[in-house]
Amino acid sequence: MKRTKIVDALKSVDFNHDILVKGWVRSHRNSKAVDFIALNDGSTINNIQIVVDPTSMDAEALKSITTGACIGVTGTLVQSQGAGQSVEIQSKAIEIYGLCPSDYPMQKKGQSFEYMRKYAHLRLRTNTFGAVFRIRHNMAIAIHQYFHEHGYYYFHTPLITASDAEGAGEMFQVTTLDLSRTGKTGEVPYEKDFFGKKTSLTVSGQLEGELGATALGGIYTFGPTFRAENSNTPRHLAEFWMIEPEVAFLDKDELMDLEEDFIKFCVRWALEHCKDDLEFLNKMIDKNLLETLQSVIKEDFVRLTYTEGIEILQAAVKNGKKFEFPVTEWGMDLSSEHERYLVEEHFKRPVIMTDYPSEIKAFYMKRNADGKTMQGTDVLFPRIGEIIGGSVREESYEKLVAEIKARGMAPESYSWYLDTRKYGSCPHAGFGLGFERLILFVTGMQNIRDVIPFPRTPKSAEF
Ligand code: 4AD
Ligand code: MG
């Protein structure tokens, strides 16, 4: 018999016919007359109830089917008399694929997420992680859908690169050199390395994305991104996924419109396509989750300059607000508690912050006429802080070269990038959305390590 997925079985009204379901046992309880097995196959957060007449099979075999075991059940789909489910299966035959010994680390309910992180290979089988990763999949689909519908091309940028896209030097080196045999003289013979020069894993596909945008009009990237920053926070990963649209002929206001429309589309998509999983997370993880998601798609985002933001923060401090990181003066970089104060307490809505001091932003941003600020457009979100980092790009060849030099970077390593400004330069803009930060927001999870299957963070690269 062909296997029916549990998600389909639960929706079926084709009663009193036999079906075959396969999955992992979530629980097994027995009374004198009957056994109940809750079975889940990952196709939905919901389990299907298997009702077993204990006289119908070997008693020892039935007893051996404990939480975590993998079985296949052939039986009759019937309307359920019990509360909590509409259909159930009256078992006729159970095939055991894999028993699950009692030291199964996911056996107990209510384990901490920290505990489960040690078992990232098994935590996938729990309700919460099932929900998170089904939602993660749906958000990836939403992103491709949005850009495809709006005429952007999915553009693949390299993961191995010889240039630092953010100019921040937080890169993981890629080499085939035998490191134990180099460095004695302090010199690394990069000419002998695989690529003949020093290479690293990319921190952003933006620079290559700009090449795509200034040819195809509008592109987006969606791929892994690597940062060797030693940030042990609930919002940083050393390997994360980023979505980077890059668009020709877009100005600052249009860029902000795109950021807002895109992120609202994604949240709306989650509400429409991930109902069961979101309801589960709303019950188990964050009681305000659905309300927060709904309010984000309803409200206009606040648009605020950095300078206005600093003034609000300074006024808050005057009125007694205490921050862990001090609010000093114009020019300081904001930390996530400052961003969250603006979003969660002051405006109670997402904020797009613009026009940052050049010192705290990347070299490629377009300078304003004031000479002090750059046309950055970061989106700040409740619970998350910065979810999107974006900007209008400097399109003047001379200004861009001057900026690269002023920052002590080498224009030679960006020659191909600078060619976009040399030959038919065009005004353009783009942004980067941190995929895991979006998933954090949409799922209500607290720690970024819990929204990527196998997190990479400082001192941790298991699995
Ligand atoms: O603000 P960032 O550094 O901007 C860029 O990389 C630009 N090149 C994007 C662009 O304009 N095309 O990173 C963009 C976003 C951040 O807003 C954040 O959501 C996420 O990427 N991000 C991280 N997510 C997880 N772990 C990290 N270490 C992250 N660093 C950035
Ligand atoms: Mg940023």
Q: Would residue 187 count as lying in a domain?
A: no
* Average of per-residue pLDDT values in the chain: 95
Asked whether residue 458 carries a pLDDT value surpassing 90, the answer given is yes
Of 98, 118, 150, the last residue of a domain is 98
pLDDT class of 461 with cuts at 50, 70, 90: very high
Residue 350 has pLDDT above 90, yes or no: yes
Q: Verify whether ligand 1 is closer than 6 Å to residue 387 (CB atom).
A: yes
In a domain, 456, yes or no: no
Pair 26, 131 in one domain: no
Q: What is the pLDDT of residue 132?
A: 98
Cα R_g (the chain), whole angstroms: 27
Domain presence at residue 12: yes
Of residues 87 and 167, the one with the higher pLDDT is 87
Instruction: Compute the average pLDDT of residues 425-434.
Output: 98
DSSP label at residue 440: H
Specify the pTM. Answer: 0.96
Judged against a pLDDT cut of 80, whether residue 183 lies above it is answered with: no
Ligand 1 pocket test, candidate residues 207, 210, 214, 242, most atoms within 8 A of CB: 242
Average pLDDT of the residues in 416-440: 98
Whether the CB of 202 sits within 6 Å of ligand 1: no
| pLDDT score at 187 | 81
Residues 141, 266 within the same domain: yes
- 194 domain residue, yes or no: no
Note whether residue 175 is domain-resident: no
Which amino acid would we find at residue 5? Answer: K
323 lies in the same domain as 397:
yes
Q: pLDDT grade, residue 82 (50/70/90)?
A: confident
Percentage of the chain surpassing pLDDT 70?
A: 99
Chain-centroid distance of CA 451 in Å reads 6
Asked if the model's pLDDT at residue 207 lies above 80, the reply is yes
**Together in a domain, 237 and 317:** yes
What's the chain's length in residues? 463
Domain range for 380 is: 127-168+203-450
Instruction: Say if ligand 1 is within 6 A of residue 361 CB.
Output: no
283 phi and psi, to 5 degrees? -80, -40
Strand 199-201: give its sheet, edge to edge. 160-161, 199-201, 173-174
The whole-angstrom separation of Cα 376 and Cα 352 is 10
Residue 206 contacts residue 178 (beta carbons within 8 Å) = no
pLDDT at 182: 66
In-domain check, residue 463: no
pLDDT at 231: 87
Average pLDDT of the segment spanning 78-91: 87
Q: What is the pLDDT of residues 131-151, one digit of tens each?
A: 999 999 999 999 999 999 999
* CATH classification of the domain holding 151: 3.30.930.10
Rounded to an integer, the average pLDDT of 85-95 is: 94
Residue 71 belongs to some domain of the structure? yes
Do 45 and 150 lie in one domain? The reply is no
pLDDT at 429: 98
DSSP string, 142-175: HHHHHHHHTTPEE----SEESS-SSSS----EE-
Q: Are 151 and 233 contacting, i.e. CB atoms less than 8 angstroms apart?
A: no
User: Which of residues 82, 98, 114 is at a domain's end?
Assistant: 98
Shared-domain flag, residues 232 and 83: no
Q: pLDDT band at residue 47, thresholds of 50, 70 and 90?
A: very high
Question: Which residue has the CA at smallest separation from atom 2 of ligand 1?
Answer: 389
Quick one: angle between helices 289-298 and 275-284, nearest 10? 120
Query: Count of domains in the chain?
Result: 2
Asked if residue 374 has pLDDT above 70, the reply is yes
